[in-house]
Chains A and B, each alone.
Chain A
Amino acid sequence: MLTLAPVCGPEAAIARANPVAKLAAVAVLSTTALVAADWLTPLLLLAAIAVALPFTGIRPGPLARRLRWLWLAAGTVVLVNAVFAADHTGTLLFDAGPLRISTGSLLAGTAIGLRVCVAATAGVLVFATTDPTDLADALNQQLKTPPRFTLGALAALRLLPLLSAEWRHITTARRARGLEGGWNPLRRLRLFASTMFTLLVGAIRRAGRLAAAMDARGFDSGIPRTHARDQRMTPPDWALLAAAFLVSAAAVACSTALGVFTVVV
């Protein structure tokens, strides 16, 4: 199913933080990891996140389970970058014709693997601890995004479990009609396309009905809406944001001082 176990309780510090502040903090960290091309900066960022983890109230068990496949993904990224690197510097560790790994290419690959790790862990910190309703509220109230779009997106998000159940129903109904993928890739592909088509037709129809129901409750009245739920930036939220900037700056400063810092071209 398309639902995930929460990684923290509703009372955890991170769950109570303002979603926009959280998102911004994580964006700062991830973007730093994105811009830096060396191995040290993402490593320092990762270390900073690890140090901060105990204070967020996130349960280690569910977090580890959520990141279970990360090691494989990050490992693959390291390996492919090491193998396919344009130039191999340092000593050759592995040499089988076109497939070569050198210390230089391995280090470069590791840098990218660490970048993925930063993005993934930071991503869990924000996306797995944020209620979509709170996110939409905060976007509307703190960033003044147009509420028709955020709330429209939120209403659509509510259909996610419905649509995923629908996918299963359509697949079952196709088996009843004699359609099955089996091991033939072409047939699988055709079945996939036809299931997708039926799902999309139903989705557009639902969108129309939902839009009518929302308009009937004055969604498109043009009156500036009020907010039933208050989202605000508290001092801890500002502190979180400041900490993200400080950590990023410190990581960059540190690796620059050690002379390893490079940026992605």
Chain B
Amino acid sequence: MPDSTLPAAPGRWRTVDILTCAVLAVAFGVVFWAWNFVWAGMEPVLKFLPPLAGVLYGLWLIPAVLAPLIVRRAGAGVLTEALAATVSALLGSFWGVFVVYQGLIQGLGGELAFAAGRYRRYDTAIAAASGALAALFATLFDVFVYYPNYDLWTYQVPYVAFAMVSGALVAGLGSKALVKAMLPTGVLDRFPAGRERARI
């Protein structure tokens, strides 16, 4: 069968698509947990430098971009990001239901870029836009919920802007780079993204 039988447009989800998104979400639960050790001690300091905190934002948005890049289905970003948030809630995140809301919102932000490409385009530009939009939605939520009293121009705007740059670079380009590095390992062979690998 030619490659055209591999679904590229959103359609019925195969079990492997669902499981890949879900396992990615769980794996990122582990990644975020480990990340806390990498930056142990840094968090509280960064809290006092909100614009700078925005720079590290991208990591949390990788699932929102990576999952759609791999499975290429409508809703993959929202599903994965919301699930990753739920996992962290189950693991005892302080922010309770808020973290689930936030996951949904930033997943939705990331999803918008792919929807704008009518779920046909999965190139670097879309990935970067998706990361930036996810960051925009996520930080807007932050600003309303956690930093509503901050000064607009000195804090809120730079925070959102830094986060968007970080989202585009870390989540957008980072996810694209991850997919590129994964291609030769063969794990993506069952996905549309794997078609970009030369047949062996």
The secondary-structure label for the interface of chain B is helix
Candidates B15, B24, B34, B90; contact of A132 at CB < 8 Å: B90
Contacts of A112 in B (CB 8 A): 145-149
- A72 to B41 alpha-carbon distance, docked (Å): 13
Known: A80-B48, A188-B38, A207-B16. A85 touches B30 (CB 8 A): no
Q: Would you call A105 an interface residue if the criterion is a C-beta within 8 Å of the partner chain's C-beta atoms?
A: yes
Known: A132-B90, A164-B33. A86 touches B151 (CB 8 A): yes
| Size of B's binding interface in residues, CB under 8 A | 58
Known: A2-B33, A264-B144. A119 touches B97 (CB 8 A): yes
Known: A27-B97, A37-B148, A105-B149. A208 touches B16 (CB 8 A): yes
Q: Would you call B161 an interface residue if the criterion is a C-beta within 8 Å of the partner chain's C-beta atoms?
A: no
- Count of A-B residue pairs with CB < 8 Å: 199
Q: Which of B108-116, B117-125, B181-189 contacts A (4 or more CB under 8 A)?
A: B181-189
Structural contact, A80 and B47, CB atoms closer than 8 A? yes
Q: Would you call B195 an interface residue if the criterion is a C-beta within 8 Å of the partner chain's C-beta atoms?
A: no
Known: A2-B30, A76-B44, A84-B155. A200 touches B145 (CB 8 A): no
Measured CB to CB, the nearest residue on chain A to B188 is A204
Structural contact, B146 and A208, CB atoms closer than 8 A? no
- A157 to B45 alpha-carbon distance, docked (Å): 32
Contacts of B14 in A (CB 8 A): 211, 220
Contacts of A121 in B (CB 8 A): 96
The A-contacting residues of B in range 90-139, CB under 8 angstroms, are 90-99, 101
The A-contacting residues of B in range 45-98, CB under 8 angstroms, are 47-48, 50, 70, 79, 83, 86-87, 89-98
Structural contact, A84 and B147, CB atoms closer than 8 A? yes
Known: A27-B97, A122-B96, A204-B182. A199 touches B16 (CB 8 A): no
Query: B120 → chain A, closest Cβ, in Å?
Result: 23
Known: A149-B79, A207-B19. A120 touches B30 (CB 8 A): no
Most chain B beta-carbon contacts within 10 A, residue among A126, A164, A200? A200
- A80 to B144 alpha-carbon distance, docked (Å): 14
Candidates B19, B27, B95; contact of A214 at CB < 8 Å: B19
Query: A96 → chain B, closest Cβ, in Å?
Result: 14
Known: A81-B147, A85-B149, A204-B187. A157 touches B18 (CB 8 A): no
Contacts of B44 in A (CB 8 A): 72, 76
Structural contact, A69 and B145, CB atoms closer than 8 A? no
Measured CB to CB, the nearest residue on chain A to B66 is A200
Q: Would you call A258 an interface residue if the criterion is a C-beta within 8 Å of the partner chain's C-beta atoms?
A: no
Contacts of A53 in B (CB 8 A): none
Contact with B along A154-180 (1 / 0, CB 8 A): 011101100110110000000000000
On A, residues with C-beta under 8 Å from B are 2, 4, 23, 26-27, 30-31, 34, 37, 66-67, 69-70, 72-73, 76-77, 80-81, 83-86, 105, 108-109, 112, 115-116, 119-124, 126-128, 132, 148-149, 152-153, 155-157, 159-160, 163-164, 166-167, 181, 188-189, 192, 195-197, 199-201, 203-208, 210-212, 214-215, 219-220, 264-265
**Interchain residue pairs A-B with the least CB separation, the first 3:** A123-B96, A156-B22, A207-B23
List 15 A-B residue pairs with CB atoms under 8 Å apart, sorted by A's residue number: A80-B47, A81-B146, A81-B147, A84-B147, A84-B155, A85-B149, A108-B149, A120-B95, A123-B93, A157-B26, A192-B34, A199-B27, A200-B27, A207-B24, A265-B148
On B, residues with C-beta under 8 Å from A are 13-16, 18-20, 22-27, 29-31, 33-35, 38, 44, 47-48, 50, 70, 79, 83, 86-87, 89-99, 101, 144-152, 155, 178, 181-182, 185, 187-188, 190
